């Protein structure tokens, strides 16, 4: 139990408004800023890991739907970049192997041999 800061009556711990005097009590919820969500989108759009981290932190802390949506967009953008970078790395590695080892280093060529068997 806690006490109303205005009228001093005993009220429930989780009360937001005092039932006796109607005044707001307890923790006045701090208005959310959309900073995390926007930063998440910016970093996510640049392919930064920070975009994912900020997005997840935002999702944990945010309660307003529009802010949560921003965080999801940020995480989504990061995921898109993550997939693209994996594909680019794969092509780069495959190309490099091919340069140094010829066809035997070409992962697609090696795979096609296995498929034939």
Question: Contact residues for Zn ion (CB under 5 A)?
Answer: 4, 6-7, 18, 20-21
Nearest-approach distance from CB 6 to Zn ion, in angstroms: 5
Angle 24-28-31 (CA atoms, 0-180°, nearest 5)?
135
Residue with Cβ nearer Zn ion (14 or 116) = 14
Alpha carbon distance 29, 62 (integer Å): 12
Task: Give the three-class secondary structure for 91.
Answer: helix
Residue with Cβ nearer Zn ion (15 or 57) = 15
Residue with Cβ nearer Zn ion (25 or 41) = 25
């Amino acid at each position: 139990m806690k006490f109303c800061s205005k009228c001093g009556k005993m009220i429930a711990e989780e009360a937001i408004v005092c039932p006796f005097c109607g005044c707001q009590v307890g923790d006045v919820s701090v208005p959310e800023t959309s900073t995390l969500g926007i930063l998440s989108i910016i970093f996510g759009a640049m392919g930064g890991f920070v975009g994912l981290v900020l997005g997840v932190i935002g999702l944990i802390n945010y309660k307003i739907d529009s802010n949560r949506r921003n965080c999801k967009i940020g995480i989504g953008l990061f995921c898109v970049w993550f997939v693209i970078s994996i594909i680019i790395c794969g092509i780069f590695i495959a190309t490099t192997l091919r340069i140094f080892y010829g066809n035997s280093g070409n992962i697609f060529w090696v795979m096609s041999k296995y498929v034939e068997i």
